[in-house]
Structure 1
Amino acid sequence: MHHPSDSSTDRDMTWDEIDALLGDDDPLADTATHSVERFETITPTARAILRTEQVTVDRSGGFGAMMESFDAPVVELFFDYAGQRISASDPRDRFFKAAAGGMRIVKRDFAAETRARCLLESFGAIDLECMTEWAVPPGSRAHYLLKCDGDVHDYCGFTAWVVPQLRKVGWTVELESGYPYQVVGADAPDWYARVEPDEQR
């Protein structure tokens, strides 16, 4: 007799059990009536959004309270798996994706994601989770700070040089509307100026 508290029948299936269900010996794996089909392998595309957010820094050095807040450029990083956006901070190692005939399970390519993170960090971006004295507002989707105590030259330099490098290797990089550290690209129309003396000086 089934007992309501019997955890062996009421509990959710584990991923290992789902793996076994979808294995090569599963006679339903290739049928259209199977609600969940085989695993799908997708190489993700790194996507980054640059914007500014208010950050708070503890500059007390452990002595008293010396908090400073100001706007700083940050990066939101996520990975595009054939149209499915997965945040860099998403803890899941796999997810479901709709497909013809049912659902597919996509395993995240953590090796590719790690390479993307390392590339971004090689250009000076700093993982906010590693910064104990810096904080962003609750609910922020930012993952990286461009630089600690950088200036306008650092931030514009990132836009002018790093962003094109990331795009060359397949990244999609967006500058949020109103991002203050945008630069004029090389494909911009030519600018001309005429200098005339000021007769009053």
Structure 2
Amino acid sequence: MTLDILRLRQEHWRADFGAGDLQRGIGYAEQGRSTLLSLKDHTLLASCRGSGAQTYQQRITLYSTGRQWNVSGRCSCPVGFNCKHVAAALLTLETQQQAGVDLSPLIVPSADVAERRIEGVQPQAVLTLGSHVRVHFDARKGRMHEQTQHRAALAFDYQGHLAYGKATKDLLVRPNPAEQLRIVRDAASEAQLRQRLEDSGLYVALRQSEALAQHPGEHFELVNEVAWLAFVQHSVPQLREDGWRVQMQPEFQYNLARVDDWYAEIEETPERDWFDLELGIEVEGQRLSLLPILLQAIRRTPWLLTGDSLAQRPDEDLLLVNLPQSSRRIALPFARLKPLLATLGELFFQDPSDANPRLRLPRADAARLGGLEQGPPLKWQG
């Protein structure tokens, strides 16, 4: 992997700093104490306000070892080498890169570096989608509260090099120490791609979110969960068809698996007056019982699955539930859940064992299964 100082990442250099210096450097960077002065080759000049009125100067040179940077950071402070002020400068550089700040005024051309100009390249839109679940204590309600945030990050791929933000300056890339690429961004094409995203309902996020905190790109969000589901189901397939590269992070909660089929399996028990019923779905070739899936949903949001709530939900609405032992989710239509829970709902609320994928019913209840035919087609077995 070739490291690029214009795409700096903390994980590539923090090993050269003590834990205390790094933590204090993070604080200084967040307080805006560090000022970047110039960047030439792999050497950064910066200044940093100390805890008092003193301002210290840093000269930082990074040496690539292939997968890591070796940091030689000289500072005018009493510590003198790889101190908190040096860490603050590197963190400030990384933060500004991720925020899309134009750093070209800082770059000092080197006489030994040949510049190659690339223009006329059509950018490919790259959209990355991510989620983050935040759990915190709500003092007003006196209980823990779970909040999920979703973000989309838009970037533009120019022959393998990513640019983002408004195309006011050329994209400068150092593929190797002896060469610099100056990629002339296509502002008109980028504006059309950005407008296409905004036409889908997304708007620029005003606050940073852990959903894509470290991911480069211009960050967007949507108004609510319903809008995110509609965007993924309807807009994302069309964007991909039109040449967009859409990447879903593993934790993105709308990276939904498709339900291929629904089934109901009946098996007689040794006791003649009873039978076992398993209701399930087929997902990517795997049969999954609905009982443990719905149990988790009922326990998580019991108010959504009561009779009154179900009656108010349109058939086309979807309930998102987690797949067992997986980070992925599926969308269950209320057109299927309504007859299912209306027919057998009280059995689910009796809290059977999660380990048992079946319901045991008396033969006298067999007639009630006819209510399950009211939803989408159900494949009966046994």
For normalisation by structure 2, the TM-score amounts to 0.33
Aligned mates of 2:146, 2:158 — CA distance in 1: 36
More strand by share: 2
Residue among 198, 201, 208 paired with 1:136:
208
Over aligned residue pairs, what C-alpha RMSD do you find?
Answer: 3.5
Correspondence for 2:165 among 88, 107, 115: 88
Q: Equivalent pairs: percent with the same residue?
A: 21
Quick one: which amino acid aligns to residue 193 of structure 1? Y
- The alpha carbon displacement at 1:137 in A equals 4.3
Rounded Cα–Cα distance in structure 2 between residues aligned with 1:126 and 1:157 = 15
Distance 1:41 1:94 in 2: 13
Determine if the alignment matches structure 1 residue 105 to structure 2 residue 182. yes
Match in the other structure for 1:178: 251
Residues 17-56 of structure 1 correspond to what in structure 2 (within 5 A)?
35-53=114-132
Of the structure 1 ranges 78-87 and 88-97, higher mean CA displacement relative to structure 2 is found in 88-97
The one of the two structures with greater contact order (alpha-carbon pairs below 8 A, sep at least 6) is 1
- What stretches of structure 2 of length at least 5 have no aligned partner? 1-39, 41-103, 105-111, 135-144, 267-276, 278-360, 366-382
Q: Please identify runs of 4+ aligned residues in structure 1 that moved more than 4 A.
A: none
Aligned with 1:194 (options 254, 264, 274): 264
Structure 1 residue runs of 5 or longer lacking an equivalent are: 1-11, 16-32, 56-67, 130-134
**What is residue 117 of structure 1 aligned with on the other side?**
194
Deviations 1:38-79 (A, max 9, x none): 443311111011111479xxxxxxxxxxxx993221101111
Q: Distance in 1 between matches of 2:124 and 2:150?
A: 22
Amino acid at match of 1:125: L
Determine which structure has more spread, i.e. the larger CA radius of gyration: 2
8 Å CA contact 1:97, 1:106 repeated in 2: no
CA contact (8 A) 1:46 1:77 kept: yes
User: Are the counterparts in 1 of residues 170 and 182 from structure 2 also a CA contact under 8 Å?
Assistant: no
Residues paired across the two proteins, number: 147
Cα offset for 1:182? 2.2
